A and B are shown apart, each in its own frame.
Chain A
């Protein structure tokens, strides 16, 4: 006769329910937690909802203010005004290009740095790792970096939006740690078969490191989309303006009828400043909302696969 494992027995009954019946206090506690978390979720979502509902309401009715649980009438007039403006398309184009090329360059550079550092026999591996790790602890600062970018003649070029922040030491280490956890026999046997380092990286290691590769691609992508310091510091011309800075420019003009003027080039009685601002906020956040389900999945994976150890 086999000895029964008591925990096994209880688990069979119901995997989610505690096997000792919950006390009344615990049940009430559970309900309170659920209600609290629901309220919290509402607080997290409402600002997004507010902006979206405000932006599609009829302009005069939106001026009433208050909470917007549903749009007050539907009008896409402000959207058509905003989207008719050339500058927003320039800003959109720059942000998309920055996100695509910036992320591509960042991921390739990070992978090419991470792989050699994950090969345990490589001489100087610890030295190079420490050298990169140190940049996470200490840096030259804003002004020296600005002067460097200036002396490289990158000011007011598209490269200034991509190169200064191309590799994040943190992301590189996430990737390296993941590659280190792959069995080293893979690399060794491929080498014996005569595969070159680049072939091994792109054909064997990267496909296996896909989860962490996707995660850092997301990290880079989101930070490229949202960052504005590089654009603020290193570019002056409006042809290189990114979406975030365009948003800033429009949001800061709250004093008079400026926002609508800036965007549409005309003051229209049918449109309010606030609504134009809300439309631009909506326009810059909608792409993020669309890809958010993927972002969340890969982010969660990425954060849990790699803890940084120097």
Chain B
């Protein structure tokens, strides 16, 4: 500390000389920072420059050097494509359903888990509900296949025996290959995979609530429901708002990993989202300009949504928000 102050007093007063001196003093810190900065510039910012492909007529042979600028022509073309419109609508629809069912689930689960008094049992439940988060969507697809396939799957067999036993007539179908049922499979598998993981944050927040609040409420005669409504939920408020911002802000991410692993050509009309659309026309049909435009459209909406929801959250509660 002493050394630093002496150095500061000794050298000149101009901004540039101060800057030069500060950089010299922390030179090694800048050296240390360099690889990370290079990484972000090369792998994150350089692709942002690549966005110009979305405004140009790119072809793979001539590359970047010779591509005619077409302005918003690609976008006009994109917006008239039925497949893109479909992907956009599916994207919003799937995300909306996921938020609707998936957002409250961890909150409800944490409140229930917190009610368990036996510590061993509590630990057991926590351990099992988080487990599905750690496996890939292809593994989940493998499990769903094992449960749903018509020849040896678990669920069709159960339904068949129910039909046989009670004389009912439940239709036995492959849920993974039916338009009518695929959305349910998508949402349920999403809930299965992510609900438990979401409880980590909420349980930590619930543990942080002052127990004396509950004791005081009990002395005043508040039952479980009133404690929940007047203590637990208000204490979770800023956590809930912050996570909801993240969630709504990422509405354009409808879950590429999941849909790419689970969907197939039979259900494409309801499962195709912007990300899978970009992958298909970009990587399989090599229409780079169109795919880039679709991706950019998605990213821009995402950016506006994050900034917008963050702004709203700050209005509602100045302590919340991500920025």
Contacts and interface: CB of A to CB of B under 8 A. Distances in A.
B82 interface: no
Q: Which of A33, A47, A62, A233 has the most CB of B within 10 A?
A: A47
B210 to A, nearest CB: 11
Interface in A103-142: 109-110, 112-113, 115-117, 119, 121-123, 128, 131-133, 135, 137-142
A18 to B, nearest CB: 6
Contacts of B223: 23, 25-26
A253 B283 CA distance: 21
Interface string B42-70: 11111111110100000000000000000
Contacts of B30: 116
B259 interface: no
Contact of A251 (B138, B212, B302): B138
Contacts of B266: none
B22 A141 contact: no
Contacts, number: 287
B47 A128 contact: no
B117 A244 contact: no
Given A20-B219, A144-B48, A148-B50, A304 B152 contact: no
B231 interface: no
Nearest to B119: A16
Interface string A281-310: 100110010001101100110011001111
A230 B161 CA distance: 44
A192 B7 CA distance: 13
A47 B47 contact: no
Contact of A50 (B135, B136, B147): B147
A65 B48 contact: no
Interface string B256-282: 110001000000000000010011001
Contacts of A116: 26, 29-30, 32-33
A119 B117 contact: no
B32 A142 contact: no
B44 A295 contact: no
Contacts of A164: 43
Interface stretch (A73-81, A82-90, A221-229, A261-269): A221-229
A117 B303 CA distance: 24
Given A19-B218, A137-B306, A198-B28, A142 B295 contact: yes
B265 to A, nearest CB: 11
A3 interface: no
Contacts of A233: 283
A304 B204 CA distance: 7
Contacts of B141: 251
Contacts of A144: 46-51, 53, 292, 295
Contacts of A192: 1-3
Contact of B36 (A63, A65, A109, A251): A109
A216 interface: no
Nearest to A54: B146
Contact of B154 (A30, A66, A225): A66
Contacts of A208: none
B22 A142 contact: no
Contact of A48 (B127, B131, B282, B288): B131
Contacts of B12: none
Contact of A146 (B19, B49, B216, B282): B282
A140 B32 contact: no
A24 B139 CA distance: 44
Contact of B33 (A117, A274, A295): A117
Nearest to B117: A16
B320 to A, nearest CB: 11
B296 interface: yes
Interface in B283-318: 283, 288, 291-292, 295-296, 298-300, 302-303, 306-307
Contacts of B257: 228-229
Interface string A36-67: 11101101110110110010000000111111
Interface string B176-204: 00000000000000001000100011001
Contacts of B136: 225-228, 244, 247, 284
Nearest to A130: B323
A292 B322 contact: no
A307 B204 CA distance: 12
Contacts of A16: 117
A148 B46 contact: yes
A111 B134 CA distance: 24
A247 B224 CA distance: 48
B155 to A, nearest CB: 9
Contact of A138 (B49, B158, B303): B303
A16 B116 CA distance: 10
Nearest to A47: B143
Nearest to A185: B1
Contact of A10 (B23, B156, B215): B215
Given A37-B116, A45-B131, A247-B139, A188 B1 contact: yes
A137 B253 CA distance: 12
**Which A-B residue pairs are the 9 nearest by beta carbons?**
A140-B47, A144-B50, A113-B36, A141-B295, A281-B142, A197-B28, A226-B136, A66-B157, A144-B47
Interface of A: 6-7, 10, 16-20, 23, 25-26, 29-30, 33-34, 36-38, 40-41, 43-45, 47-48, 50-51, 54, 62-68, 109-110, 112-113, 115-117, 119, 121-123, 128, 131-133, 135, 137-148, 152, 163-164, 166-167, 169, 172, 188, 192, 196-198, 201, 222, 225-229, 233, 244, 247-248, 251, 254, 272, 274, 277-278, 280-281, 284-285, 288, 292-293, 295-296, 299-300, 303-304, 307-310
